[in-house]
Amino acid sequence: MNIPSHLKKVKEVDWTIEELEDFELECKKEWETGEVLGPVHLSKGNEKELIEIFQYVHPNDYVYSTWRNHYHALLHGIPKDWLMDEVKRGRSMKIINKEHNFVISAIVGGIIPQALGTAWALKQKGSDRKVWCFIGDMGFETGEFHLCYKYAKNFDLPLQFVVEDNNLSTNTPTNETWGKKQEVPDDVIYYEYERGFPHHGSGTWVLF
């Protein structure tokens, strides 16, 4: 995984791989009770990469994420009890926390233009805060990414993209649908991993 040289570490991450995995296992347990009346998208397999990346994310920075957001939320300082309550309320796909500048969208590529706008506003204010935009490999191939990456780069906006490549969009292989994957720009953080849970749910039949 490449970390662009202009980025500097700003903090130590106080989560371990095991603690992150344990949180998701607790979510899995709650999900399998059949009382969580909303989808969950569990993370597994990218703990090491995210722990490294979040050393560069300042707590005051914005983090934009997707439907699979629990690790991003925890590593950005959102209290785990609050997050678990949200998951239990069926809001796993709606994790938004203004206090921690954490925004998600459940639409592929949906966060990218918003992240661009926030980066524009921060630069306009003379702020030294950044915007981190975590997207999947299919989001990386969208027109939204191309447009926003180009605009952010041309206007030197504080927008850092992170591409998390499990080669699956829901269950559709990205490389197969596009024929191949695009080149990764040097200033984009990119890593590959194998998804440890299904797209949503836990892989266990749940009776609601």
Partner 1 sequence: MVDSLTKQKEEMAKFQEAEMLKHLDLRYKNEIIRSMEWLAEKDDTIFLGQAVNYSGNAMFNTTKTIPTEKRIELPVFEDVQMGMSLGMAYEGVVPITSYPRFDFLICAVNQLVNHVDKMSIISEGQYQPRIIIRTSIGSRIPLDAGEQHTQDHTQAFKNLLKRVHVVVLDEWHDVFPAFKHAYERQPVSKYDSLVTLLIEWGDHYNAK
* Smaller CB separation from partner 1, 9 or 89: 89
Q: Does 151 bind partner 1 (CB under 8 A)?
A: yes
Q: Does 87 bind partner 1 (CB under 8 A)?
A: no
Contact 75, 50 (CB under 8 A): yes
Question: Which residue among 28, 39, 45, 114 contacts partner 1 (CB under 8 A)?
Answer: 114
- Binding map of partner 1 across residues 47-76, x = CB under 8 A, - = no contact: ---------------x--------------
Q: Does 97 bind partner 1 (CB under 8 A)?
A: yes
- Burial (CB count within 10 angstroms: exposed 0-12, middle 13-18, buried 19+), residue 126: exposed
Angle at 71 between CA 49 and CA 51, to 5 degrees: 30
Angle at 31 between CA 26 and CA 37, to 5 degrees: 140
* Smaller CB separation from partner 1, 185 or 203: 185
- Burial (CB count within 10 angstroms: exposed 0-12, middle 13-18, buried 19+), residue 78: buried
Q: Does 117 bind partner 1 (CB under 8 A)?
A: yes
Closest to 91 measured CA to CA, from 115, 65, 63, 67: 67
* Smaller CB separation from partner 1, 7 or 147: 147
Q: Does 8 bind partner 1 (CB under 8 A)?
A: no
Question: Which residue among 24, 49, 144, 164 contacts partner 1 (CB under 8 A)?
Answer: 144
Locate 98 and state its tokens. Answer: 């203004």
What are the residues binding partner 1 (CB under 8 A)?
A: 62, 94, 96-98, 103, 105, 107, 110, 112-122, 124-125, 144, 147-148, 151
